[in-house]
Structure 1
């Protein structure tokens, strides 16, 4: 019995020691476990940040530093195959000092027009605002060597005329945004408002017509205001116009007077011719050789005056 008691007492003492040791270990490792659990979500959350997303609002960030940018669409099979490789490449970006980014062209139509994306996926390399299009193989090792060995220097950069910050590309970006806005309006009218497709086209046609007319009138007014005609802007224009109008009226009056004078001369000549004919008939008599009737005879003084005037006219001519 004594042996059993000794054995039980020794076992109980050893169990008490082991429990105290476990309690001590648990108390010492508990803060470490809590710290690890707290840091693990931060590490997991920080890892996706290695692949940045560029939008219309923050695209100017790529104009400074070195970037590798992928333009993709979720529905593109080639883009879907490239995504795992691109994520692995993004994990190396921080070590190499390169920013790895992606652009969803379906959500960012302005950037699609700004970079003239005609095929998917499209990859650009940017170094301090100078853009080059990547044309190599699409593997992680090729991406790493392209950046690490600076193979991008052998690629001809994009012209400044077609750079994303140029005036032409800004206009192209606005055009792509407008097209996407029109598409959304069309979908809203056809799907939610129940307007037929042809009705939507008619609405857009009328809006385009009236907006073009309004824009044309606005441009005409602006052109007339900024670049007025010289003749209308001249201070002597209205004086010259008034003097020219007066000269025209005077000339018209002179022409009318000349026309009236010519008519009077013609009438006088006709009267003189008639008088001359009467005198000649009086001298010669009637065509039948008989004298003129007494009712048509003239006095001697009248005949004499007409003969004198006819002679004077003949001398004058």
Structure 2
């Protein structure tokens, strides 16, 4: 009984510990992204290290605890955040996120891509405090405007049409061909059967 109680206490402690850690990671979405980060106005809210992730990504899940620890250790110095791009397509399209996790560091109006496969706490801290200087700096993309969204929508529509034409149309053509061939064979069999029946009737009449 004592061991059982001790196990429950340890479980609750670690649950509370992880909860406290996770609270330091800022949750971003399409609605609050620009308002909180101020990327287009030069990072007026400070530096941001953001994890662009997908919930099903195993690598994203594996680094969750480390990311939470990083947020706690850098609290008040650097904003550590995350955004689920499967639910926030506008931000995904803005930054052209294709792989998961994508880790981007924003400082003084510049963007730095973390490409190191080392996803340890020390590696992350070292990057945002020092080694980001060795990475190529680029300008953060501007928020998508209505024309960008419309253009993106049209591109996706035409891509879908193209995919339908490439994959569905040949399948449809095969289906039509098979149906036509099957129908033709069935018609020939039916015609032959009718002719045989008609011939048999004529022979019977002649005998009469």
- 1:110 and 1:177 in contact (8 A); partners too: no
1:45 offset after TM fit, Å? 7.5
Please report the TM-score for the alignment, with normalisation by the length of structure 1. 0.37
Equivalent in the alignment of 2:61: 80
Q: How does 1:124-273 map to 2 (within 5 A)?
A: 124-136=104-116, 137-148=118-129, 150-158=130-138, 160=139, 163-165=140-142, 170=145, 174=149, 178=153
Equivalent in the alignment of 2:23: 49
1:128 offset after TM fit, Å? 2.7
5+ residue gaps, structure 2, are 1-16, 158-167, 169-208
1:88 offset after TM fit, Å? 1.4
Larger radius of gyration: 1
Please report the TM-score for the alignment, with normalisation by the length of structure 2. 0.55
2:79 equivalent to 1:99: yes
1:46 offset after TM fit, Å? 6.5
5+ residue gaps, structure 1, are 1-42, 183-197, 199-317
Equivalent in the alignment of 2:192: none
How many residues are treated as equivalent by the alignment?
134
Structure number with higher relative contact order (C-alpha < 8 Å, ≥ 6 residues apart):
2
Q: Which has the larger share of helix?
A: 1
Q: Note the alpha carbon deviations across 1:98-119, whole angstroms, 9 max, x for none.
A: 0000010111011111111111
> Which of 71, 76, 84 does residue 90 from structure 1 map onto?
71
Find runs of 4+ consecutive structure 1 residues off by over 4 angstroms. 43-47, 169-173, 175-179
CA distance in 2, matches of 1:127, 1:110: 22
Q: Structure 1's 123 and 171: CA in aligned 2 closer, same or farther, altered over 3 A?
A: farther
Equivalent in the alignment of 1:269: none
Q: Which has the larger share of strand?
A: 2
- 1:50 and 1:93 in contact (8 A); partners too: no
